[in-house]
Amino acid sequence: MTKVSYVYVYCLSIMMLMLIGLGLANLYSAGADSGVFATQLRSLLVGMLAFVIFAWFIPLRLVNNYAYPACFAISLSLVLVLMLGQSGGGAQRWLGVGSLRFQPSEFAKLTVVFGVAKFFYLQRSLPLFTLSHLRPVLLFALGTFVLIFKQPDFGTAGVCLLIAFAQLAFVRIRIGWKLITAILVLLVGTAVVGWEFFLHDYQKLRVLNLLDPSLDPSGSSYNILQSLVAVGSGKQFGKGFLQGTQTQLQFLPARHTDFIFSVFAEEHGFWVCCLVFVLFGGIALIALEIAREARDVFSSLVAIGIGAFLFIEFTINAAMILGIFPVVGMPMPFFSFGGTALLTSCVALGILAAISRESAKGQRKRN
């Protein structure tokens, strides 16, 4: 058991390095004539340092103790974003402190993981949870969703909610008709009210474009159509590094961020894309194994939440560029340009490695 736990740490480290290497090379190709590669490289140095610190030097009890303060701090920063945040690309998502600029909604993905895990850790004496027991954690997840959605950033808001639901799926909850009815009413009601009163016109168009990509080929459908051309032209083995015509001739929009994986698919083809699917799938499976061997409820649910966070983001981004999910501005972990997103992913894997490492220590002491 101990040896297996340490193997997980090594596997996570190797998988992360492979994804970072592929992502950096791909970003260089996407932004060969700009400074995004150099900026991402500087962000990577910070991210790797954070990975090492959280994996080997910060004890999990410290993460547990400061879970709620971290949730409060990020929630406060999300409120400040709506009041004082910096705008860019039609959204108000960033806070600036001097020359430092960061996106609190990226950190919110981790604080949702911590907040949900801490709640069930404190309530671990309960053998079974009812809907009334879950009200505080559901309000926390919905509150985070609303604060991020208002920026507007529907993609990140939705991911935070999905992370919480993924963690809830591994908790013993009394399932009755009242709960099922409440969930269905909540989902349908949210969809109807959101469509009528909260979604902007461009967000509605993205959903309609999913149903009919030819709806507005020179306007709202342009991004996804160009992405499909790039992915399809990559075929099995790709056009080669720096040889993607959609990318190099700048037909592909948002090629550094939302559609970064379209660049990868065009240049490297189907089979290398499968390798990326295997790496993210492997991380998710290892996260579940680490959760199974974790020392306590908090560590277990944090591992589940981190695995869900990385896999959900990857899956939505991949589905988005393939035209089977609306374009919601979802970054690809370790691939998309963005310092805060990269730092968050590195910290997440660092904490996952720490959970596995401390589980191994616990097993060794008991033996």
What is the average pLDDT value for the chain, to the nearest integer? 88
- Residue pair 263/241 in contact (Cβ under 8 Å)? The answer is no
- CB-based contacts of 166: which residues, under 8 Å, 6+ apart? 304, 305, 308, 312
For the CA atoms of 95, 58, 114, 341, what is the dihedral angle to 10 degrees?
Answer: 40
- Residue 84 pLDDT grade (very low, low, confident, very high; cuts 50, 70, 90): confident
Which DSSP string corresponds to 108-125? HHHHHHHHHHHHHHHTTT
Residue 3 pLDDT greater than 60, yes or no: no
- Residue pair 326/206 in contact (Cβ under 8 Å)? The answer is yes
For the CA atoms of 22, 23, 25, 27, what is the dihedral angle to 10 degrees?
Answer: 160
**Interval 111-134: pLDDT, tens:** 999 999 999 999 988 888 888 888
Residue 260 CB: number of other CB atoms within 10 A? 26
Of residues 38 and 366, the one with the higher pLDDT is 38
Residue 88 pLDDT greater than 90, yes or no: no
**Interval 141-173: pLDDT, tens:** 999 999 998 888 888 999 999 999 999 999 998
- Residue 210 pLDDT grade (very low, low, confident, very high; cuts 50, 70, 90): low
Q: Distance between CA 333 and CA 315 in Å, rounded?
A: 10
User: Which pLDDT value is given to residue 218?
Assistant: 61
The CA angle 185-188-193, to the nearest 5 degrees, is: 110
Residue 121 CB: number of other CB atoms within 10 A? 17
- CB-based contacts of 98: which residues, under 8 Å, 6+ apart? none
**Interval 287-315: pLDDT, tens:** 999 999 998 999 999 999 999 999 999 99
- Residue 1 pLDDT grade (very low, low, confident, very high; cuts 50, 70, 90): very low
User: Which pLDDT value is given to residue 7?
Assistant: 84
- CB-based contacts of 97: which residues, under 8 Å, 6+ apart? none
Q: Distance between CA 81 and CA 94 in Å, rounded?
A: 6
**Interval 30-76: pLDDT, tens:** 876 678 898 999 999 999 999 999 999 999 999 999 999 999 999 99
**Interval 230-240: pLDDT, tens:** 999 999 999 99
Query: What's the average model confidence in pLDDT over 79-83?
Result: 92
User: Which pLDDT value is given to residue 315?
Assistant: 96
Residue 108's nearest CA partner among 83, 145, 133 is: 145
Q: Which residue, chain included where needed, has tokens 């009601």?
A: 189
Q: What is the pTM of this model?
A: 0.91
